[in-house]
């Protein structure tokens, strides 16, 4: 028997099924409602957008399903913002397409928005996942030896669960559980690791890197969150077909290392040189690595194959530019200059007109070389006009 049949029977028996009004947010109520909600899923929409119109009944039914499972008012809130009526809110949350579904926890907007299937089941499953406990409890410290060391592991050792220290740890885990595996131990189990009181340990991927200990105030959410985020979100992230839309929508050019999955040595070299040469450029360009086998098409786009890997390239979302020989990344300042040449326009200029005059040896004749760099390949991973109404070419916002 499906859900609609059950509702029909209940109605015939005189029972009223749970139905919920989607909360409409405006400048007067948005902060209060979101701050008081454990989890809130907010639909940013426009009435004239056909994708928004298609989502409305699905969103409402998903809200009804979840309300039956989480009936307390502030456990889960489904809300919406009419972006035509409240353009200030749309600008505040940088809405660039309709509909956009953003997740909030106690008023804090999560970095990852919902990009999954637009169905009642998918939305309900997503909220159930968000409400599940992201922290695995350790019953025996011997379990530490069997951790999946391909992941970034954050382990909290606490005297008791009912404590301010653990509540802050739990709040951070709810936000960053997609980026790290969170574990905790309590009481006698955790005692050998609590020689100086409750503490948090970061275990990096692999078996060679040493553990790192959190030294800040454990009741300070901001300090704890920033420390754990720094460990969970690497400077060089992997791009996949699953997160490509999200990374593309950040709007920053890509500096990408294409490497074979098993070639961890090249990845480590790239990570070290990015940290050494380009840490000041964080926020102006995304540092990424990609599996050569999975991303054969972008490689072909720059006339490379997996056999040529490792390969470093920049995708500016207009064109792709190839770094020279991978080994040159070890030359001090070489990778940094490659990124600076993107920002200055030199890479684009040289593709069209050959080397800049300042790069030509004395007595050498300058020549115009008519060429065009390959068009962006990763731009194709951006949000699709077959799924969203895109605002980048519109004047609405």
Beta-carbon neighbour count of residue 113 at 10 Å? 18
- Over residues 202-258, the pLDDT tens digits come to 999 888 889 999 999 999 999 999 999 999 999 999 999 999 999 999 889 999 999
- Tokens standing for 250? 């950040």
What domains can you pick out in the chain, each with its CATH number? 23-131 (3.40.30.10), 135-232 (3.40.30.10), 237-354+368-382 (3.40.30.10)
The list of the chain residues with pLDDT below 70 reads 1-20, 351-372, 392-397
Q: Would you say 376 and 342 are in contact if contact means Cβ atoms under 8 Å apart? A: no
**The pLDDT value given to residue 73:** 87
Q: Would you say 162 and 198 are in contact if contact means Cβ atoms under 8 Å apart? A: no
The position carrying tokens 């290392």 is 257
**The pLDDT value given to residue 365:** 53
* Residue 119 dihedral angles phi and psi, to the nearest 5°: -135, 160
- Tokens standing for 375? 């068009």
**The pLDDT value given to residue 354:** 61
**The pLDDT value given to residue 347:** 87
Q: Burial, 289: exposed, middle or buried (Cβ in 10 Å; 0-12, 13-18, 19+)? A: buried
**The pLDDT value given to residue 117:** 96
- Over residues 65-109, the pLDDT tens digits come to 999 999 998 999 999 999 999 999 999 999 999 999 999 999 999
What pTM does this model have? 0.82
**The pLDDT value given to residue 208:** 83
């Amino acid at each position: 028997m499906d859900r609609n049949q059950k509702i029909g029977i209940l109605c015939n028996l005189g029972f009223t099924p749970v139905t919920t009004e989607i909360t409409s947010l405006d400048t007067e109520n948005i902060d209060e409602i979101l701050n008081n909600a454990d989890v809130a899923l907010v639909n940013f929409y426009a009435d004239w957008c056909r994708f928004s119109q298609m989502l409305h009944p699905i969103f409402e039914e998903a809200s009804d399903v979840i309300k039956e499972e989480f009936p307390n008012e502030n456990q889960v809130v489904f809300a919406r913002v009419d972006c035509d009526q409240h353009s200030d809110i749309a600008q505040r949350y940088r809405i660039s397409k309709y509909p956009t579904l953003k997740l909030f926890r106690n008023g804090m907007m999560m970095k990852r928005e919902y990009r999954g299937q637009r169905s009642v089941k998918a939305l309900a499953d997503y909220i159930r996942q968000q409400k599940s406990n992201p922290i695995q409890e350790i019953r025996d410290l011997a379990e530490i030896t069997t951790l999946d060391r391909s992941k970034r592991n954050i382990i909290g050792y606490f005297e008791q669960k009912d404590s301010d220290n653990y509540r802050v740890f739990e709040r951070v885990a709810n936000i960053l559980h997609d980026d790290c595996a969170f574990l905790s131990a309590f009481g006698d189990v955790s005692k050998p690791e609590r020689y100086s009181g409750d503490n948090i340990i970061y275990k990096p991927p692999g078996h060679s890197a040493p553990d790192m200990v959190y030294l800040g105030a454990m009741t300070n959410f901001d300090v704890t969150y920033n420390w754990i985020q720094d460990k969970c979100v690497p400077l060089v992230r992997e791009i996949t077909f699953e997160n490509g839309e999200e990374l593309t929508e950040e709007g920053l050019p890509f500096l990408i290392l294409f490497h074979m999955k098993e070639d961890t040595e090249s990845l480590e070299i790239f990570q070290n040189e990015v940290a050494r040469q380009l840490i000041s450029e964080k926020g102006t360009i995304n540092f990424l690595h990609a599996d050569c086998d999975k991303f054969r098409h972008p490689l072909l786009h720059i006339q490379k194959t997996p056999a040529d890997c490792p390969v470093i390239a920049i995708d500016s979302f207009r064109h792709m530019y190839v770094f020279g020989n991978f080994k040159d990344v070890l030359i001090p300042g070489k990778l940094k200059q490659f990124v600076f040449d993107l920002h200055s326009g030199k890479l684009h200029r040289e593709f069209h007109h050959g080397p800049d005059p300042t790069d030509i040896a004395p007595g050498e004749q300058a020549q115009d070389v008519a060429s065009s760099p390959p068009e962006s390949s990763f731009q194709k991973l951006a949000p699709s006009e077959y799924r969203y109404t895109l605002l980048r070419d519109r004047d609405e916002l």
